Structure 1
Amino acid sequence: MKKMNTIKNQSIFTTTCIALAFLILLPFTSIASPLKKRDGISKKEKKEYQERVKTAFKKGWRAYMNYAKGLDAVNPISEKGHNWYKESLLMTPVDAFSTMYLMGLDDEMAEAKELIFSELEFDKDFEVQQFEIAIRILGGLLSSYQLDGDQRFLDLAIDLADRMLPVFDSPTGIPYRLVNLKTGAVGGQGTNPCEVGSMLLEYGVLSKLTGDPKYYDLCKRGVKALYDRRGETGLQGSWIDQDTGKWEDTRAHISGGIDAYYEYLLKGYLLFGDEDLLEWYTVSRDAVNKYLVDTTSVEGEMWVGWADMNSGERIMTRFGALDCFWNLCNVLDGDLERAEGLQASINKMWFANGIEPEAINYTTMQPYYEGAEYYMMRPEAIESTYYVWRGTGNKKYYEQGKKMFESIEKYCQVENGYVQLRDVKTKEKWDTLESFFFAETMKYCYLFFADTETFDLEKYVLNTEAHPLKNTWDKDWKGNLNGVK
């Protein structure tokens, strides 16, 4: 099994990461790919599925415009909408725009832009969850600016980021979770690694676009503070106090609450060339592979469980929808053996009931806790399947991705759009359609079938909300980090 144990031995790793970022993460390139010649998939089939995914996207968008226009998200069955907070932040239009752009949906893009530029403003007297707003709204605005070129996207992004910067003013540098967009008051005592590190791409891109390093510096300072407090195993725990730096929950995993922290260390290196991030990722990856990866369940399968961050003792055989992101790290890291093992498990989890539940006990294949049988339309399993297909060129992964899209069509489609499921066994509908259906789930479905000549996306890295961020600058830039070494 391929392993890279030291940061000094980076040359192969660096070359592999960059090459795979261009070839796999960013498949629509102007460079001829070996995969293009050997996938054995007819252009007719790809065109058919391109149109089917576009139709699904447009059906969901029409539900939003008909029943929730100007709100954050739509409830298609009850024909109404809802907001995350007491006022709308136009979550769906901002999140959907980059996918509209990739699909070439000019009419829908015009509708989204009209809404965003006429109604979106951030002088709002309420608290928001900084991390969620950063990956969805800030990331969406930055990506839209880079794709579309309209300066108003960037102006909104700068205003939003400046309103959220107070979260980084803690004794340790580890950010607070909540911030009032009007007053700058912060809240949310205690946080998790995901809400510390998975804004690094967005703030870093903003620093590059504005020439002001403060955004990247403050975010990276928090990531470093968290990394310096890693467990004896090299793993991160689940919950830490920003003021004291003391861990309050030492359970380590790659599930929600930690997941995108690891993703952004690797993607941050690919986007910015910051070798600190590569070192932090490598230590973290080795710890995950040593203490969390579990191959004892069924031969040929690989799962990622939970352990204590200090002892490494396994404490849960839990794996879920959000955990599937780890396979993009395996692929971008060039570890295709582990990628295929984990993909076997992901495929098993998805199709055990025709569509995936939120979390399972992988020793029993049953929901891990009461209520975990729902499907939120999450994209990570489809994302994983896409990466492994692009990484291996094996058509069976293309077929898996196609079947995943078909299962969404079969079980989540309703007369007025698409909805989540309360129970993957009974297929009971859950009347809500959140913005990541547009930003991520439909985007990754589309990438399976889109023409490799259609777009030139070799210069992008996708953030954790699947917003493309341009990779067009010198790789030696790493910010000032406010003097932190």
Structure 2
Amino acid sequence: MRRLSVLVFLGCVLFSTPMPLAFAQAAPQPLSMTDQQKAEMARRVRQEFLHAWDGYRQYAWGHDALKPLSKKPHDWYAHSLLMTPVDGLDTMILMGLTPQADEARKLIDTQLNFDQDMYVKDFEITIRMMGGLLSSYQLTGDKRLLELADDLGRRMLPMFNSPTGMPYEYVNLHTGAVRGPNSNPAEVGSLLLEYGTLARLTGKQVYYDKAKRAVVAMYKRQSKIGLVGLGINVETGKWTDRTAGIMGGIDSYYEYLLKCAILFNDKDCERMWNESAAAINKYLADQRPNGLWYGQANMGTGKRIATYYGALDAFFPAVLALGGDRERAAKLQDSSYLMWNLAGIEPDSLNYAAMQIKDANYPLRPEIIESAYYLYHYTHDPKYLVMGQTFFDSLMKYCRNDVGFAALSDVRTKQKADSMESFFFAETMKYLYLLFAPPSTLDFDSIVFNTEAHPLKRNFTAASN
């Protein structure tokens, strides 16, 4: 499958040579959608969100997540942090699911308690919990949500007390003890949107300063050619893995450089993004006969060391589009769509040079949908609606069950896994809905999404640099 003789863009494709079944089935799609058809798609997405939410409510209420195959609750730690209600609340608000949103907000307001003697992961708790609380506060004005975000932020601050200022991987919410010196750029550099917003809303500048210091500390340790690696020790500042790329472990570090420049008018972040983007496109971009991809390189030399691209990498077209590089974004999104159609739903990782699946999991990830949404916003090209229809149909066909949607352990066999993470509510269904919903549902240009798809309002003055 290295040679693809494609006459028209993927989504409405005529193949001049016989193609594998997975590609052929994706071909006969409409070129455009009427407003009525888009409204119907938005309605269906909203209905399926409700289907999954009702499953959570029936079998896992008060817990972090529902295991959709065993119909049992799942908690990340010893005590529930209500991860699915917090993560999914702003999606319900945007969808107009008022009774469900009010019920979830009441649960959060009365039951969420961060005073727990347990270690939590800095990155995931920040993007899911703090991001969700801040976004929902801005949408509702419920001051209890901001109080909870502030309480969480205060309990998380000790994670920044490393010799470098880069955060430890885990912090104890009750004692403030930290552990986990081995981290990565994403976990170090994907905190400023949330802590910066918290600083603006509470007037506590320490939140911004701590998170900004971590970003700058990471940037200062990039290589001479402008790349970062996959692993770093936050105590010594030494790299533990010098593999550069845009994959998980690095991805949202780059995303937040651009988004913090936009949200806070932070000129340091703008400069760091521009310099990083130039290095990414110079050393990681990989134009192949089957499309544009981004692979891996040695951070010191820029020499390519691997040709892997996956579901998490598919966030990058959205970032490129947001940064103004729409042509490159469109090309990369076409490659992501090619990856999706290889097995009828995307694998977690693909060797794009051989078009062979490396990691066959599909954990219900949203990034490819996110990029379709961004590109449709900027271009109004109906092919991105076609892509969205494909993504939705695949979820319905392969992942839906009687109480929700299940991850896949193997996209080739479509074997389901007993997992429905909170980001399915926060991101996957939100981006699908916004792709088809009227633009008035959310003013794209007045917000910045954090990496968990929580919209944060762009109503702040310039940051102190």
Q: Using structure 1 for the length normalisation, give the TM-score.
A: 0.88
Alpha-carbon distance in structure 2 between the residues aligned to 1:43 and 1:389: 14
- Give the counterpart letter for 1:149 in structure 2: G
Superimposed CA distance per residue, residues 287-315 of structure 1 (whole angstroms, 9 cap, x where no aligned partner): 100000000x225x100000011100100
Alpha-carbon distance in structure 2 between the residues aligned to 1:127 and 1:438: 24
Give the aligned partner of residue 401 of structure 1.
388
- Give the counterpart letter for 1:326 in structure 2: F
1:60 aligns with 2:52: yes
Alpha-carbon distance in structure 1 between the residues aligned to 2:298 and 2:438: 45
Alpha-carbon distance in structure 2 between the residues aligned to 1:78 and 1:315: 41
Q: CA deviation at 1:456?
A: 4.0
Q: Any residues of structure 2 matched to 1:97-246 within 5 Å, and which?
A: 97-246=89-238
Q: Any residues of structure 2 matched to 1:263-342 within 5 Å, and which?
A: 263-295=255-287, 297-299=288-290, 301-342=291-332
Of 426, 436, 447, the residue aligned with 2:413 is 426
Give the aligned partner of residue 415 of structure 1.
402
Alpha-carbon distance in structure 2 between the residues aligned to 1:453 and 1:313: 46
- Give the counterpart letter for 1:237 in structure 2: G
Give the aligned partner of residue 7 of structure 1.
none
Cα contact 2:376–2:384 (8 A) shared by 1: yes
Structure 2 unmatched ranges of 5 or more: 1-30
Alpha-carbon distance in structure 2 between the residues aligned to 1:70 and 1:197: 31
- Give the counterpart letter for 1:459 in structure 2: S
1:379 aligns with 2:347: no
SS in 1 for 2:182: coil
Alpha-carbon distance in structure 1 between the residues aligned to 2:445 and 2:360: 37
- Give the counterpart letter for 1:176 in structure 2: Y
Alpha-carbon distance in structure 1 between the residues aligned to 2:70 and 2:365: 21
Q: CA deviation at 1:67?
A: 0.5
1:462 aligns with 2:453: no
Of 239, 243, 249, the residue aligned with 1:251 is 243
The 10-residue stretch of structure 1 (110-119 or 167-176) with the greater mean CA deviation from structure 2 = 110-119
Cα contact 2:68–2:419 (8 A) shared by 1: yes
1:50 aligns with 2:50: no
Alpha-carbon distance in structure 2 between the residues aligned to 1:455 and 1:436: 19
Q: CA deviation at 1:389?
A: 2.1
Q: CA deviation at 1:138?
A: 0.5
Alpha-carbon distance in structure 1 between the residues aligned to 2:445 and 2:251: 25
Alpha-carbon distance in structure 1 between the residues aligned to 2:275 and 2:80: 40
Cα contact 1:272–1:478 (8 A) shared by 2: no
Alpha-carbon distance in structure 2 between the residues aligned to 1:329 and 1:43: 27
Alpha-carbon distance in structure 2 between the residues aligned to 1:210 and 1:118: 21
Q: CA deviation at 1:454?
A: 3.9
Superimposed CA distance per residue, residues 171-225 of structure 1 (whole angstroms, 9 cap, x where no aligned partner): 1111111000000000002110001110110000001001111001001101111
Distance 1:308 1:455, change over 3 A: closer
SS in 1 for 2:237: coil
1:366 aligns with 2:356: yes
Superimposed CA distance per residue, residues 255-280 of structure 1 (whole angstroms, 9 cap, x where no aligned partner): 11000000000000110000100000
Q: Using structure 2 for the length normalisation, give the TM-score.
A: 0.92
Give the aligned partner of residue 16 of structure 1.
none
Of 451, 457, 461, the residue aligned with 2:438 is 451
- Give the counterpart letter for 1:477 in structure 2: A
Cα contact 1:273–1:478 (8 A) shared by 2: no
Alpha-carbon distance in structure 2 between the residues aligned to 1:470 and 1:238: 31
1:477 aligns with 2:463: yes
Q: CA deviation at 1:42?
A: 1.4
Q: CA deviation at 1:77?
A: 1.9
The 10-residue stretch of structure 1 (131-140 or 452-461) with the greater mean CA deviation from structure 2 = 452-461
SS in 2 for 1:334: coil
Deviation beyond 6 Å, 4+ runs, structure 1: none
Superimposed CA distance per residue, residues 431-472 of structure 1 (whole angstroms, 9 cap, x where no aligned partner): 111100000000000011101234445321111000010111
SS in 2 for 1:360: strand
The 10-residue stretch of structure 1 (388-397 or 249-258) with the greater mean CA deviation from structure 2 = 388-397
In the alignment of these two chains, the number of paired residues is: 435
Give the aligned partner of residue 75 of structure 1.
67
The 10-residue stretch of structure 1 (390-399 or 357-366) with the greater mean CA deviation from structure 2 = 390-399
Alpha-carbon distance in structure 1 between the residues aligned to 2:272 and 2:286: 22
State the identity as a percent.
51
SS in 1 for 2:167: coil
- Give the counterpart letter for 2:449 in structure 1: L
Distance 1:457 1:348, change over 3 A: closer
Q: CA deviation at 1:402?
A: 1.4
Q: Which has the higher contact order (CA 8 A, sep 6+)?
A: 1
Q: CA deviation at 1:393?
A: 2.1
SS in 1 for 2:439: coil
SS in 2 for 1:414: coil
Aligned CA RMSD, in angstroms, stands at 1.2
Alpha-carbon distance in structure 2 between the residues aligned to 1:167 and 1:96: 26
Alpha-carbon distance in structure 1 between the residues aligned to 2:405 and 2:130: 25
Q: CA deviation at 1:478?
A: 2.9
Alpha-carbon distance in structure 1 between the residues aligned to 2:307 and 2:278: 19
Q: CA deviation at 1:40?
A: 5.5
